[in-house]
């Protein structure tokens, strides 16, 4: 995302008039998810989302995403959906995840490798 994310977290990048995170929240709410927690780091002041609970990760730069997730672990009491802040998920995919009868579910893009063609980051294993 290059220049778009020099001063802005990826989740706040605007795509056709709406940020990625607003799209996510809309998808969650369309699928009955009302309690939404956003884990934020040093750019917490840039997040101005309504009806969202924020958890601040003060050590954001010292660990990976799992470390950030553990900062909010006291909120994990019931079923939860975990999503990276820079991923857009279709309503139908989210519906399938939520309606799954399995203990653990994950949505993946089976054609993910196409997104990494000609990129130097995240090379194939």
**CATH (domain of 108):** 3.90.550.10
- Note the pLDDT tens digit of each residue in 60-83: 999 999 999 999 999 998 889 999
C-alpha torsion 13→18→22→26, nearest 10: -150
- C-alpha to C-alpha distances, 103 to 97, 98, 111, nearest whole angstrom: 11, 11, 25
Q: Which pLDDT band holds residue 109 (cuts at 50, 70, 90)?
A: confident
Whether residue 124 lies inside any domain: the answer is: no
Opening angle at CA 67, ends 61 and 70, nearest 5: 135
pLDDT of 116 above 80: no
Q: Which domain holds residue 29?
A: 2-116
Say if 10 falls within a structural domain. yes
């Amino acid at each position: 995302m290059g220049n778009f994310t020099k001063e802005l977290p990826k989740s706040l990048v605007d795509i056709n008039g709406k940020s990625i995170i607003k799209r996510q929240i809309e998808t969650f709410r369309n699928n009955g998810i009302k309690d939404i927690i956003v884990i934020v780091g040093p750019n917490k002041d840039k997040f101005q989302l309504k009806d969202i609970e924020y958890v601040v990760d003060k050590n954001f730069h010292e660990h990976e995403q799992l470390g950030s997730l553990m900062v909010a672990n006291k909120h994990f009491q019931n079923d939860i959906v975990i999503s990276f802040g820079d991923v857009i998920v279709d309503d139908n995919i989210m519906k399938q995840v939520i309606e799954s009868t399995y203990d653990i579910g994950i949505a993946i893009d089976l054609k993910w490798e196409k997104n990494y063609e000609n990129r130097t980051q995240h090379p194939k294993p």
